[in-house]
Amino acid sequence: MSQLFDSTFIQKIQQLSINARFTLDSNSAGNRKSRSKGSSVEFSDFREYTPGDDFRRVDWNAYGRFEKLFIKLFMEEREAPVTIFVDVSKSMDWGEPNKSIASRRLAAALAYISLANFDKVSVICINDTIQQMCRDMRGKNSFHRVINMLENIQYSGESDIKRAIEIYQINSGRGITVIVSDFFTEGSFNEMIKLLAYKKQAVYICHILSPQEERPSISESVKLVDSETGKTADITVTPALLNAYSRELEKFKNQIKQTCIKWGAYCFSFTSETAFEEMVKEVAEH
Amino acid sequence: MILRYPLGLLALLAVPVIILLYLLKQKHEEYIIPSLYLWKNALNDIEANSPWQKLKRNILMLLQIFAIILLALIISEPIIRNAGSKEEPVLLVIDCSLSMQSADIKPTRFDAAVADALKLVDSLSPGTEITVIASASKPYIPIHKAVSSDNAIMEIKSLKASDTAEDIEGTVKLVQSLIRDNPEIRVCWFSDGNNPLDNIEYYSYNRNGNNYAVTLLSYRKNNDGTKTTALSRISNFSVQDAELDVSLYTDGNFYDAQRIKLGAGKTGNIYWSDLPGSANMLELSIDTDDVLAKDNKAGVMIQSDEARKVLLATEKNIFLEKLLSLIPYLDIYRTDIEDMDEFKGYDLYIFDGKLPEKLPEDGHSILFKPSPNEYFSVSGISEYSSIRAADHPIYSNLKQDISFSTIKTDIYNLPEWAAPIMVNDEGTAAFEGYMGRRRIMVFGFDLHDTNLPVQPFFPVIMTRAVQELIPAGSDKVSSVFAGEPIGLSVDPKAKEVYVINPDGYSELVAPPFPVASFEGTTKIGAYSYEQHLEEGIKKQQFFVNAPTEKEISLSNSIPSGLSVDAEASEDGKAEGVGRSPVPGGLSLKVVLIWMLLAILIIEWWVYSNGIAV
């Protein structure tokens, strides 16, 4: 067991998985059937009948008592395809604590919870293309594959998440897609979300930045070097520049949030110093 | 406006360097970040928010260039000249006499005068001809027509206040001669006395601070030489009455103290009787503090009673015998030349009418109508002529007309080594001078052929003639005033003669022989005088005292046009009283320094507020 995913980590995610409600939302009820028919139907609630509803689900007993049509609602246990994209571009291997650790732990935890929930899980390491992936895993026994892959992944290259998603080709119908990244990415974030929405995915955006990105500690004239592209920029850090940077950061994060709201995606913003269980709780129990 | 140091503008060469640095930019240390994305946007944001962004780098640069320009100006020291600063040549006369050491103006009158002189030089236009006269016992010109103010400043700074009296007449003559050379010259006189000339700028440094001085110290021995009486004269040169404590020291040891009350500007005498006859040295000290300490002390060496042996070789000369017998410290030995085999062992030889083949080697000589000899020659004989005095120290302070008649006298070809004593219309009748180490005084007449012995001045000039050759006491000189030459009676057997001043500085006076009078009496105090003889070193002392009568009494008169604040002068706190303001140019240096400071603050503000990147 490595330091990244030690026994404490495993214990914690096992605990987290009990309370997790990391599922497709209720609006999708009836559109996807569980493969374990007959035994997996659990009564949930009533609602009034509206035209178009399956009249086979009308509760006639209730009609007899109230002379109104009610539909019985059921919590369907089903196999949701969960796709977790982990950004392994060079920019993610930075910061103190390192963003790569936080992002991999979060991805692993979500994968475990999904596997524990009998979902079909795919974990894909991407930069501007697909680096490595564990596809269509089922059951907790598959979790070690995720661990092995995430532990040994090399961070390199530039980030282009949209391109990587296009390459992956999500064809599983409705499902959950989680993206863990700093989103310093080429290509339009909006187009990426739009693509996933088109693919009928419930999108979970996990935006991870390091504390040094949130509050830069540069205090002199330096030549900034982009870790991914190697491009440089000479700057003399002044309060004005730092203010402008803070404004840009807020703008950047807001843009991501606004885009998520626009397309019905969930957006979570973390720093790499946030404990992974907090991140997981926030994502899985939102 | 003028620039005192135009070369300071060379600092402007830094301006292109700054521009070059901005062009080249600074090389920064590399700092790896995940992505430039946000930083680029931030940089663009700053540029987008500043409509004058294109200028913002230039603002810092312009400020720095402006700062460099100010710095160059500060180094160049621009001065706005005032009305008094014309470009005519300037003559600075700085009083370096003893009274300028008075501390009634802090730190001293001299220091204040020098500071003002420097200030005035500072205000002059570049290229102004500057001449400086240092006025002391011997006025001199340390720098003449200097175009560089730096040189003038250096010379003025190197001036020192001396212990001597100011030769005001000599200085005035020097100044007048320079004015004659250049009538346009601007004369600025820095002194503590009264303005000696019209149409000059006179800057006075005198608060008439309390000053007391020993103006005289002398002594007299009683007949048997067992007791000595000292006479001292104390003067109060201040504008207030004073009660002074005066101490007397004999041979360096305290002897007695007396108190004397003196009115303002008054002088009083103190007698000290029954001093031990064995005392060789008397020193007097006023113990009350005043603004000038150096004139509070005086000293005098007591001449010993050691008799000087004089050999008078004459057939019969009642006048000489009588005269010599009146001089108390002489032991007279009378002889005839024919009776003597060898002339040796006397301090003075007087040959009357005759001359040995060879003059004695160990003493000085006085010759009356000598026979023809190898030492000097006779040019002729003058009969029935009137002989008058030449310019010689033996006549000093004798105001009456010195002349007498003679029946017959030899006229001499004046030797190169000699100076005339008496002359008539035909030439030199008497002369004296050093012939090697011996001093010879020659009179071309027989006293019996003249009416000189019946003249009232005869004993005076003949006594002085003898004293010239063998001063009273055992060659001791007693005391002189600072700056005055002192005649040193040198033993003919001396090989080297040194004078050691109060600071311990030893000066070789001789060789060459004969010894001219010693003129290095510039310091007040006790001097040593050493003659190196074959048998050993002969040490004597003499005192150089403050020239109080000549210097202090003159300088402490109240300058015209100045009010005297006696109370202020006492503590010296009332700046400006007794000190004339010196005109100078208005230096912009301070203003420029403040401007530079302001520019630097603005630059810091611009930088820290992010107005520039």
Mean pLDDT for each 10-residue chunk of chain A (286 residues)? 75 74 47 37 71 80 88 64 93 92 92 85 93 88 91 91 90 86 84 89 92 85 86 81 90 92 92 90 79
Pairing of the two strands B403-412 and B378-389? antiparallel
pLDDT of residue A71: 83
Distance, C-alpha B449 to centroid of its chain: 47
Neighbour-count burial for A178-189, b at 16+ CB within 10 Å, e otherwise: bbbbbbbbebeb
Q: Considering CB atoms only, which of B34, B43, B611 is closest to A235? A: B43
Report the alpha-carbon distance of residue B131 to residue B147 in Å, rounded. Answer: 9
pTM: 0.46
Report the alpha-carbon distance of residue B65 to residue B19 in Å, rounded. Answer: 8
* AA identity, residue B122: D
- Give the number of other CB atoms < 10 A from CB of residue B546: 27
Indicate if the pLDDT at residue B339 is higher than 90: no
User: Average of pLDDT values for B206-223?
Assistant: 81
Q: Give the chain A residue nearest B31 (alpha carbons).
A: A224
Q: A225 CB contacts (<8 Å, ≥6 apart)?
A: A231, A232, B30, B31, B32, B33
pLDDT of residue A44: 62
CA distances from B45 to A234, A240, A249, B265 (A): 16, 10, 12, 87
pLDDT of residue B562: 33
Query: Do residues B82 and B2 lie in contact, with contact meaning Cβ atoms separated by under 8 Å?
Result: no
B33/A227 CB distance under 8 A: yes
B610/A223 CB distance under 8 A: no
Query: Do residues B188 and B203 lie in contact, with contact meaning Cβ atoms separated by under 8 Å?
Result: yes
What tokens does A60 get?
Answer: 């006639």
* AA identity, residue A133: M
* AA identity, residue A234: D
Count of helices and strands (H, E) across chain B: 12, 30
pLDDT per position as a tens digit, B283-335: 899 988 888 888 888 888 887 666 778 888 888 888 888 888 878 778 888 87
User: Average of pLDDT values for B79-98?
Assistant: 75
- Residue whose C-alpha is closest to residue B63's, from B462, B595, B610: B595
| Residue percentage of chain B with pLDDT more than 70 | 85
Q: Under an 8 Å CB criterion, which residues of B touch A?
A: 25-43, 45-46, 49, 607-613
- Give the number of other CB atoms < 10 A from CB of residue A203: 21
Helix (H) or strand (E) holding B274: strand B267-276
What tokens does A101 get?
Answer: 């650790």
Q: Give the chain B residue nearest A218 (alpha carbons).
A: B31
pLDDT of residue B197: 82
HEC sequence for B163-224: CCCCCHHHHHHHHHHHHHHCCCCEEEEEECCCCCCCCCEEEEECCCCCCEEEEEEEEEECCC
Q: A259 to chain B nearest CA, in Å?
A: 18
Report the alpha-carbon distance of residue B312 to residue B57 in Å, rounded. Answer: 105
Q: B313 CB contacts (<8 Å, ≥6 apart)?
A: B334, B335, B336, B337, B340, B343, B349, B350, B351, B352, B354, B356
Higher per-residue confidence, A108 vs B555? A108
pLDDT of residue B585: 61
pLDDT of residue A154: 93
B36/A213 CB distance under 8 A: no
Q: Considering CB atoms only, which of B34, B41, B613 is closest to A227? A: B34
B43/A221 CB distance under 8 A: no
B43/A233 CB distance under 8 A: yes
CA torsion angle for A104, A105, A110, A112 (degrees, to 10)?
110
User: Average of pLDDT values for B438-467?
Assistant: 89
Indicate if the pLDDT at residue B589 is higher than 70: yes
Higher per-residue confidence, B560 vs A90? A90
B476: pLDDT confidence band, cut at 50, 70 and 90?
Answer: low
> Any idea what DSSP says for residue B551?
I
* AA identity, residue B490: V
- Residue whose C-alpha is closest to residue A104's, from A90, A125, A119: A125
pLDDT of residue B37: 84
What strands, in cross-sheet order, belong to the sheet with B186-191? Answer: B140-146, B130-135, B90-95, B186-191, B201-204
What tokens does A86 get?
Answer: 């982990």
| Residue percentage of chain B with pLDDT more than 90 | 9
Q: B1 to chain A nearest CA, in Å?
A: 42
Contact list, B42 vs chain A (CB under 8 Å): 241, 244-245, 247-248
Helix (H) or strand (E) holding B57: helix B53-76
A240/B613 CB distance under 8 A: yes
Report the alpha-carbon distance of residue A125 to residue B276 in Å, rounded. Answer: 122
pLDDT of residue B106: 82
The whole-chain average pLDDT of chain B stands at 80
- Give the number of other CB atoms < 10 A from CB of residue B501: 17
Q: Judging by beta carbons within 10 Å of its beta carbon (0-12, 13-18, 19+), is residue B220 exposed, middle or buried? A: exposed
Location of structure tokens 């780098």: B57
Q: Give the chain B residue nearest A235 (alpha carbons).
A: B613
pLDDT of residue A232: 87
B30/A247 CB distance under 8 A: no
How many residues belong to chain A? 286
Q: Considering CB atoms only, which of B28, B30, B607 is closest to A238? A: B607
B571: pLDDT confidence band, cut at 50, 70 and 90?
Answer: very low
| Secondary structure (3-state) at B65 | helix
Report the alpha-carbon distance of residue B496 to residue B362 in Å, rounded. Answer: 16
Q: A85 CB contacts (<8 Å, ≥6 apart)?
A: A124, A126, A161, A164, A165, A168, A177, A178, A179, A180, A181
Report the alpha-carbon distance of residue B153 to residue B122 in Å, rounded. Answer: 8
Q: B387 CB contacts (<8 Å, ≥6 apart)?
A: B403, B404, B405, B406, B409, B422, B423, B424, B429, B430, B445, B450, B452
A100, A160, A186, A247, best to mutate vs chain B, most B CBs in 10 Å: A247
Report the alpha-carbon distance of residue B529 to residue B507 in Å, rounded. Answer: 10
Indicate if the pLDDT at residue B387 is higher than 50: yes
B29/A252 CB distance under 8 A: no
Q: Give the chain B residue nearest A245 (alpha carbons).
A: B42
B105: pLDDT confidence band, cut at 50, 70 and 90?
Answer: confident
pLDDT of residue B597: 92
A236/B32 CB distance under 8 A: no
A241/B35 CB distance under 8 A: no
Query: Do residues B452 and B402 lie in contact, with contact meaning Cβ atoms separated by under 8 Å?
Result: no
B445: pLDDT confidence band, cut at 50, 70 and 90?
Answer: very high
Q: Under an 8 Å CB criterion, which residues of A touch B?
A: 90-92, 94-95, 99, 182, 184, 210, 213, 218, 220-229, 231-236, 238-241, 243-245, 247-249, 251-252
* Interface pTM, i.e. ipTM: 0.78
B34/A247 CB distance under 8 A: no
User: Average of pLDDT values for B494-518?
Assistant: 81
Can you give the C-alpha Rg of chain A in angstroms? 22
- Residue whose C-alpha is closest to residue B3's, from B70, B68, B66, B80: B80
Pairing of the two strands A120-126 and A130-137? antiparallel
B31, B603, B607, B609, best to mutate vs chain A, most A CBs in 10 Å: B31
What tokens does B10 get?
Answer: 């060379």
B604: pLDDT confidence band, cut at 50, 70 and 90?
Answer: confident
Contact list, B608 vs chain A (CB under 8 Å): 238-239
pLDDT per position as a tens digit, B157-210: 988 888 888 888 888 888 888 888 888 888 888 888 888 888 888 888 887 778
Q: Considering CB atoms only, which of A94, A95, A241 is closest to B610? A: A241
Q: Which residues pair with B248 in a beta bridge?
A: B256, B284
pLDDT of residue A40: 42
Report the alpha-carbon distance of residue A86 to residue A100 in Å, rounded. Answer: 9
Contact list, B24 vs chain A (CB under 8 Å): none
